[in-house]
Structure 1
């Protein structure tokens, strides 16, 4: 897991250097199709990448987007009318039967289909009309790290290329080329590792964020559950105030992702409310926030780019916490690299 995490700056650079043309070609086809809606389907870590892409699709393209429930088709046999819809399967392995079935049925029901995977020869890639290879290379650990951020970057490049009519704008590409350097600097900071001892005896932990940061909160909770067996409870900042705030107290740690965009501004009120309840809040973001006891610093970048960087120290936190608790993060109990569901 440590080795996979360390590779992420290299993965970013490779995606930008080697996959931009393939992604632009896929984006050009999508721009020609002019879908009226986009439905993403994914599982596990890839589900959080898909959620990020749904935010991008609605905010940047103005197209309604959402996440499918695969069981509607695979278990209940639903056959929704998907004309004028783009259905996107996101999967590191491309090997889960339910995602393959969703794309197969979607094509029968009139949808265009796209697969985003780390395996161009996978069943999911083969069933889809278009495929985007995230080019993360072989991932050693069971817990996904570099494939997750590769999916985020590939989906970001895809959406921005669709917005550009099939071309990633030069100014956008120039900003994205700064990501590998940002990632190297974030991974060189041991603040998250140093905080791991703080949570050694925690049995549950809350993660929260809004907008583009919400998928980061969900992915962090999953990583903590996978590697340290902590009950990770992920909430959007808005949902946290609608009930779950009642459980906030000093012995329930909170990791709050607070960026510098509109969602980050709204999260400051959430952190303040948590502080009023004396919750143990650590903020992940570019600036200090009233109500937080500590901060894991990340670069002040465009809100769209932040999820690719904010998750990096949190991956390191999950790894360090597992080791503090005497667990082996490379061999999580009951898990394997490819999970097949239907």
Structure 2
């Protein structure tokens, strides 16, 4: 240690080694954090109200949420530049939901979602490059450029579906899962608005965590990644122990409009959005927790921010220049491991071959 310190002061140690040494000397390894108590329904006890956050976890969560935030902002920019067409629903503001969810389950667990799923695509293992390339309809996209924003998939992730559960279908699913005691976690990402209507204007009761009726429920602070993580762990243990389904309402907020055709300010004020950004932004809350508890400092987080910016910019460049899929490949991948077969096109003289 004395030789290393001497080398530091003499300027002999390279920057990465110096940074690693100083980090080990001045930062805490872990901290105990208080988190908001969840509202419970048909449960005698809920998730803990305190948890341990390690430095490694904090850095990982911070970087992941920053990647999702910057990726969504880049998608917004590329849509306005007409690189991205069609439907596109952004999840900036809701990063703690997808990152906290992934932190509370196993990689082998399965996730099915509707749209506004770019963040879940990333936490499930897809690269920024493959996500942005899918948005621009390029061959390097995660669905070969054929799915776009609303149809992205990867291992154990069946997401980006364009159909949102209609009321009747949701309640039928709740009933079936309760009857069969299925190990399902139902999640309502309550971002306070439908397409353009506030929840309290559309629903006589906004206690969405209670709307599974016979299914136990949790209402969670969806702006705090640790609250989401601990609630998800609790819900997963509930399911794995054979107790059947559970419902989680994550109270969160979207900064963008419902879709790219919605400016998001006709049914809410700019002041409201800014108030959420300044008081309960999920990245800001984690950043403050890390700095105030000596898990990191401003300089280190700035380095992460710069690295994230570089990664997203490079991915965007790829997504703008990668070739589009060839027309003759339009019918490929209709089935998995299926022998090639002929598919008729828009008229009977136009034929394609589908390959797995």
- Give the TM-score normalised by structure 2: 0.25
More helix by share: 1
**Comparing both chains, which one has the higher relative contact order based on Cα–Cα distances under 8 Å and sequence gaps of 6 or more?**
2
Larger gyration radius, structure 1 or structure 2: 2
- Give the TM-score normalised by structure 1: 0.26
